Amino acid sequence: MTILFITGCGKGIGREMIDNWLKSDEKNKVVGIYRSIIEKENELEKYADRLCLVQGDASETQLLEKCFSSSKKIFNDLPQKYLVNAGVRCRSNIEDIKNDTLENLWNTNYFGLRKLLILLVDQSIIKKNISLVYVSSIVANVGFINLDDYGATKAAAESLLRSIAVKYPNSRFNSVAPGFTKTSYANNFMKNLPDLYDWTLSRIPTKRWAESKEICSAINFLLSNHSSYITGQRLVVDGGWLASS
């Protein structure tokens, strides 16, 4: 039995990972945090005895602690795999961004990871051969107009993970950096920014956005023992965007 802890599992990549993980082995279990809604919630009924979902903000220590105690209570164990996926975007001129937006951005994209790591240290879980994957973005290491702060949060989180990977070599800490991916974000993007959407298609060598399941495949690789000698790294899944920069 392997328990996967996922933040931001209500939709997009996180929601895809619930199905993916539970389908891949009938003994697998998921402890997940969702904030407002869970897409296709009725389809999860069949997994009721292998799924523990908690609602709230994944950047709050108390909620993370609640997930750990629920995991122990329901599944008799703590998660061995961690997917820090919850993320918010902010597309804005740097001078226009409001303080509360900035705070939310850093809390979710950076401090959520940091607080989880502190909990893993405090509870001595970090030395127990766990594997953690952070969902970053290609924006962490390439410039995009008006994604300044978003890119900065992802770059900071990747940097944090690299240092943690060096300090705790019994476990593994890696990032997946998706390019443009068809999630809830894609629908808004296509509808509200059609010119920008067309530009992204013309710019991606594969001429299409990623499917969520293609990001999940990379996440699964980094969570699994197939990547047992990989730690402190970022795996780019972008249809060739960065290669053609």
Ligand X SMILES: NC(=O)c1ccc[n+]([C@@H]2O[C@H](COP(=O)([O-])OP(=O)(O)OC[C@H]3O[C@@H](n4cnc5c(N)ncnc54)[C@H](OP(=O)(O)O)[C@@H]3O)[C@@H](O)[C@H]2O)c1
Residues that bind ligand X (CB under 6 A): 7-8, 10-14, 33-37, 57-59, 85-88, 108, 135, 137, 178, 180-181, 183-185
Backbone angles phi, psi at 31, to 5 degrees: -115, 120
Are residues 155 and 141 in contact, defined by beta-carbon separation less than 8 angstroms? yes
Looking at the Cβ atoms of 103 and 169, the one nearer to ligand X is 103
**Rounded to an integer, what is the distance from CA 109 to the centroid of its chain?**
9
d(CA 233, CA 231): 5
Whole-number minimum distance, CB 164 to ligand X, in Å? 18
Looking at the Cβ atoms of 59 and 131, the one nearer to ligand X is 59
Whole-number minimum distance, CB 105 to ligand X, in Å? 10
Looking at the Cβ atoms of 64 and 120, the one nearer to ligand X is 64
Whole-number minimum distance, CB 240 to ligand X, in Å? 15
Which tokens go with 195?
Answer: 């010119």
Whole-number minimum distance, CB 192 to ligand X, in Å? 14
Whole-number minimum distance, CB 217 to ligand X, in Å? 14
Q: Which 3 state secondary structure label does DSSP give 29?
A: strand
Whole-number minimum distance, CB 234 to ligand X, in Å? 12
Among residues 155, 216, 224, the alpha carbon closest in space to that of 182 is found at: 216
Which tokens go with 208?
Answer: 């299409």
Whole-number minimum distance, CB 76 to ligand X, in Å? 25
**Residues contacting 92, CB < 8 A, separation 6+:** 101, 146, 149
d(CA 197, CA 82): 32
DSSP 12-63: HHHHHHHHHHHHH-TT-EEEEEESS--TTGGGGGGGGGGEEEEES-TT-HHH
Looking at the Cβ atoms of 62 and 225, the one nearer to ligand X is 62
Looking at the Cβ atoms of 13 and 31, the one nearer to ligand X is 13
In b/e form, how buried is each residue of 76-93, taking b as 16+ CB within 10 angstroms?
A: eebbbbbbbbbbebbbbe
Looking at the Cβ atoms of 37 and 166, the one nearer to ligand X is 37
Looking at the Cβ atoms of 117 and 129, the one nearer to ligand X is 117
